[in-house]
Amino acid sequence: MFDFENQVVIITGASGSIGSGIAQCFSETGAKLVLHGHSRAPALPANSSPQNCATITADLADPAGPKAIVKAALENFNQVDVLINNAAVQQVEPLEELPDSSWQQMLDINLTAAHRLTQAVASLMIEEQTGGSIIHIASIEGLQPAPGHSHYATTKAALIMHARAAAAEYGPHNIRVNSVSPGLIYRPKLEEQWPQGVARWQNSAALKRLGTPTDVANACMFLASPLASWITGANLVVDGGVSTKPTW
């Protein structure tokens, strides 16, 4: 259905389950990838090669990190067509015990890095007059917080608004900016680590299952594709319908 042949896609946080799933799906459509990892290089997607996939490690809390990622894209492929701001941290810390250091780390990685990358990639797209697509991976917690996630939920809510604001300003340059808000996404050993939460989710979700990285990837590919050519400033919720259940 999707064809990203010869398009260059940057994916941050590609070492994690969601990021690697997004990378695999884009790779299968013919995209050239620039995959970012924090402390280790992401694994190449199956059936990809170093000729169409570059990896880079960078600390996104450092202002030099986003610049290094864009530089790697230009050095390897000479262009950027799609940016997916997926990298994030998520600790569970009660608000009354939340130290400034945790608050600042969450802002730096989840929000400020996405802002810096958006600026850098959009500037390139404007200079080259190519247009393109930028996608923030937010969360349903940006719409409804969970206990112990005040700092995480705050950054995700800000990402959703950042996408809308960027869409308004970059639209005249044919740059579309959207966000995707996943619900609970499966990762290995999740049911062992949080059996009660998984059970509650499956009971609450209209579709009665956890999401998969492919579910998130499909949303990203849609928003980056010509099928979404008149969609910008939108937040696509990918949660299996859990948001349809009343909480009162």
* pLDDT value, residue 86: 98
18, part of any domain: yes
Alpha carbon of 46 to those of 28, 66, 226: distances in Å?
9, 26, 25
Indicate which residue of 15, 20, 48, 139 is catalytic.
139
CA distance 137 to 178: 9
Indicate which residue of 15, 156, 170, 179 is catalytic.
156
Q: Would residue 139 show up in a list of annotated catalytic residues for this protein?
A: yes
Say whether pTM exceeds 0.75: yes
Structural domain of 172: 8-243
- Please, what is the average pLDDT of the chain? 94
pLDDT digits (tens, 9 = 90+) for 113-169: 999 999 999 999 999 999 999 999 999 999 999 888 899 999 999 999 999 999 999
Structural domains in the chain (count) = 1
Judge whether residue 248 has pLDDT over 70. no
* pLDDT value, residue 174: 98
115, part of any domain: yes
Indicate which residue of 152, 170, 179, 204 is catalytic.
152
* pLDDT value, residue 178: 98
**Concatenated DSSP letters for 213-227?**
HHHHHHHHHHHHSGG
Judge whether residue 77 has pLDDT over 80. yes
108, part of any domain: yes
Q: Would residue 156 show up in a list of annotated catalytic residues for this protein?
A: yes
Q: Would residue 189 show up in a list of annotated catalytic residues for this protein?
A: no
Please give the sequence-ordered ranges of beta strands (E in DSSP) within the chain, or none if there are none. Answer: 8-11, 32-37, 53-57, 82-85, 132-137, 175-182, 235-238
2, part of any domain: no
* pLDDT value, residue 73: 97
**Residues of the chain with pLDDT > 90: what percent?**
81
Q: Which of 77, 72, 66, 64 is nearest to 8 (CA)?
A: 77
Question: Residue 129 maps to which CATH number?
Answer: 3.40.50.720
